[in-house]
Amino acid sequence: MISSVSDSITTSFDLFSDLENNDHEQILFCQDKSSGLKALIAIHNTVLGPGLGGTRMWTYAKEADAVRDVLRLSRGMTYKASISGLNLGGAKAVIIGDPKKDKSEAMMRKFGRFIESLNGKYITAEDVGTTMKDMEYVAMETDHVVGLPEVRGGGGDPSPVTAYGVYMGMKAAAKKAYGSESLEGKSIAIQGVGKVGLHLVEYVHAEGAKIYVTDIFDTGVKVAVEKFGAISVPTEDIFSLDVDIFAPCALGAIINTETLGKLKCNIIAGAANNQLENEQEHGDLCKSNNILYAPDFLINAGGLINVFSEYNGYIREVAMAQTEDIYNTTLNIFDHAEKNNVNTQMAAIQLAEKRVNDILKMQSTY
Ligand code: NAD
């Protein structure tokens, strides 16, 4: 029986080659028959500190897809923490299942016990398919969980802090592209006015920007229009507007050959994760189209900064001050990209890797 399980994994892809290629430290497979838990915790790199990354619950078509997802996402967390100057490593967890049907208190608490077994090497938080309530169950079994409600000493919803970081990254991009960080009079197209997008609308409205918004649901659009004077446009029109800045705050892989053929903006700066369909190809295409791309994993790091602040006793002002530094880091990345003739996403990755390697060398002697 055991050999048939391992065969089904190795026939899909070579697990250890994947771990080796991405330099992962550890992957933990967790199963519990009675609660139906099937989870994976991937720890990519703990040179800078314990690996922090949310727990995603998703109905993966194949188990191999869950493994690939957790490996990809945990590596991204190493970069995000490193470039943000946090003493945190990269890790992520996935639970295989339908978050609407398969979840239970027992499942989340059992998952918490697996996290506890890692002795603080992995810290979890909520992600797609998990909620603050789930994290409260996890917290019954382990202290290594962040993103708890304010009443429980946590930082609550991280979206306002994420939006503030995106706003800082956008201002840095304006400084680089126009010589001034001011967004007054700049036209900004925001795709997705959900939790982050709507806070971003508020920030850029306060500076006097002209705002266009789109969403597949009306709720956020209505608030943006009525409260902040935004102009609502159909979802398919958001790419071809003649604007200064495009802010993707909805979906990943939204910057691709097709959309770059339509975009007329000078700057892309938004909250969505993994905006570039292909980091090298589409990062290069932004560069050759004279579009300044503010790296997503840096400018949307406010949420991570916010949850990490919980570890030292949460103070919102401290999280906001650290998030403000995204402005300077974004400018450093633009300089590095220019000096080394690489696209801005690759520049951010290089600087994130450099910090990990520098600290690793520093630790080589007692
Ligand atoms: P959200 O679900 O509250 O908002 C996303 C919005 O995008 C929704 O209103 C949705 O209707 C809309 N949308 C979906 N598909 C769309 C489409 N095709 N066209 C237009 N609108 C569409 O999510 P959020 O928390 O605001 O996060 C937004 C993005 O930022 C996500 O990609 C998320 O992964 C990323 N992010 C969020 C945080 C955070 O703190 N919330 C942190 C880091 C990254």
Q: Do domains 2-72+89-152 and 159-312+336-354 have the same CATH topology?
A: yes
Q: What is the structure's pLDDT at 156?
A: 84
Beta bridge partners of 308: none
Per domain, the residue ranges of the chain are 2-72+89-152, 159-312+336-354
The token pair that represents 32 in the structure block: 């519990």
Count the alpha carbons within 13 Å of 178 in the hemisphere toward its beta carbon. 17
pLDDT digits (tens, 9 = 90+) for 177-234: 999 999 999 999 999 999 999 999 999 999 999 999 999 999 999 999 999 999 999 9
In the chain, which ranges are continuous DSSP H helix? 2-10, 15-21, 63-83, 105-117, 132-139, 159-178, 195-206, 218-228, 257-260, 279-288, 296-299, 302-309, 316-324, 326-340, 344-362
The closest residue, in CA terms, to atom 20 on ligand 1 is: 215
Does pTM surpass 0.85? yes
Q: How far is the CA of 201 from the centre of ligand 1 (A)?
A: 13
Q: Are 245 and 189 within 8 A, CB to CB?
A: yes
Domain at 159-312+336-354, CATH homologous superfamily:
NAD(P)-binding Rossmann-like Domain (3.40.50.720)
The closest residue, in CA terms, to atom 29 on ligand 1 is: 272
Give mean pLDDT, residues 276-282.
96
* CA 26-144-194 angle, 5° bins: 95
65, pLDDT greater than 60: yes
Task: Return the active site residues.
Answer: 92
In terms of pLDDT, which residue wins out, 2 or 219?
219
DSSP conformation class of 209: -
Q: What is the structure's pLDDT at 303?
A: 94
User: How far apart are the C-alpha atoms of 170 and 177, rounded to whole Å?
Assistant: 10
Q: How far is the CA of 78 from the centre of ligand 1 (A)?
A: 22
Q: Residue 251, SS3?
A: coil
Q: What is the structure's pLDDT at 179?
A: 98
pLDDT digits (tens, 9 = 90+) for 6-51: 444 444 567 777 777 778 999 999 999 999 999 999 999 999 999 9
Residue 188, amino acid: I
The closest residue, in CA terms, to atom 39 on ligand 1 is: 159
Q: How is domain 2-72+89-152 classified at the architecture level of CATH? A: 3-Layer(aba) Sandwich (3.40)
User: How far apart are the C-alpha atoms of 174 and 180, rounded to whole Å?
Assistant: 6
Q: How far is the CA of 178 from the centre of ligand 1 (A)?
A: 28
